[in-house]
Structure 1
Amino acid sequence: MRPTTHEPAGYKCPFCRLQTGVFDDRNQISDVVAVTDRAYARIAPKWWPANAGGALVIPRRHVENLYEMEPEDGHGVWDLTQQVAQAMRLSYACEGISTRQHNEPAGDQDVWHLHIHVLPRFSDDRLYQRHLDARWIHVEERRPFADRLRSTLQLPTSFA
């Protein structure tokens, strides 16, 4: 059974647009830290107060949610998620990592292209209690975190 789509008519997917060279203040090529055949990783444009430098891992093929993902894309996304988590742990000196993935409005999904949040964690950061405290981050504030992850990952960063 195919779930109902929540993607509005005429939706301009920010994650697909980034891959095709369409940029805005929340989606810059400098945010991209790794690109594989099936997935890419980028610094998230929205952070929680004690969890700077969060990343997103995204399937290259447009898929709205987990229910619709092809197994090969799922493997590609999960493999890259593990690499990003390891690089984050090393380059940020954080104490742990959390991952999140949301499906449908009731599951807190707000971008209609599947993505996994990879979040640096620290003791007493209260991430889950501070959901409403997230803020949009300027590209220049994101750049040093992208540089650190990109340097540690040593993976391609081009969509070509």
Structure 2
Amino acid sequence: MTVHNHEPPGYDCPFCFLLTGGETPLDSPRDIVLRTGCATAFTAARWWPDNRGHVLVIPNAHHENLYDLPPEYGHAVHDVVREVAIAMRATYGCDGVSTRQHNEPGGGQDVWHYHVHVFPRYEADNLYGSQPLPGYATGEQRWIYADRLRNYFGSSPRT
């Protein structure tokens, strides 16, 4: 089997850091909305103009991409993606949900830890025709959405 990895030597994975309780301006334990034994969902810092509050779902073990992902983690991530999609529909007032996942630089991957994007969708939002907003959402902006989802799941904030 050919492995297609692009993680540089000594890579400090920001998602693994978050999973251990680490905090940066882009990710905080308070962003986490749902955590299971094998997968975690958290609000993302990169936003699109009409799709604020999108969520990333990651495996709790470090796997770079779809090619490396063991089935048990793939199933766990998919289950959490589904739960987050249902929660978004219930709490964001969106018209639907889209998911997407990228592998390797040619596929648009830019963090070397497998992750699935879950986007709230609204009629005529032009998600796929727009670019991300410049800069990143602040913690205070992200936590508005994280709190909605955590409340849906009945979870307490993780600080």
For normalisation by structure 2, the TM-score amounts to 0.95
Q: CA deviation at 1:151?
A: 0.7
Q: CA deviation at 1:4?
A: 2.8
Q: CA deviation at 1:157?
A: 6.9
Q: CA deviation at 1:56?
A: 0.5
Q: Distance in 1 between matches of 2:104 and 2:20?
A: 25
Matches within 5 A, 1:70-149: 70-133=70-133, 135-149=135-149
Mapped contact 2:32–2:41 kept (Cα < 8 A): yes
Q: Distance in 2 between matches of 1:140 and 1:132?
A: 19
Aligned CA-pair RMSD: 1.4
Q: CA deviation at 1:16?
A: 0.2
Higher helix share: 1
1:46 is aligned to 46
Q: Distance in 1 between matches of 2:133 and 2:140?
A: 20
Q: Distance in 2 between matches of 1:37 and 1:9?
A: 28
Q: CA deviation at 1:136?
A: 1.0
Unaligned 5+ runs, structure 2: none
Q: Distance in 2 between matches of 1:73 and 1:89?
A: 24
Mapped contact 1:91–1:152 kept (Cα < 8 A): yes
| Identity, % of aligned positions | 48
For normalisation by structure 1, the TM-score amounts to 0.94
SS at match of 1:79: helix
Q: Distance in 1 between matches of 2:83 and 2:110?
A: 25
CA-to-aligned-CA distance 1:83-134 (integer Å, 9 cap, x gap) = 0000001100100000010000000000000000000000111111113545
Q: CA deviation at 1:156?
A: 7.4
Q: CA deviation at 1:155?
A: 5.0
Q: Distance in 1 between matches of 2:115 and 2:30?
A: 18
| Change in CA separation of 1:112 and 1:3 when aligned onto 2, cut-off 3 Å | same
Mapped contact 2:6–2:104 kept (Cα < 8 A): yes
CA-to-aligned-CA distance 1:5-49 (integer Å, 9 cap, x gap) = 100111100100011122110011110001100000000111101
Asked if residue 63 in structure 1 is aligned to residue 50 in structure 2, the reply is no
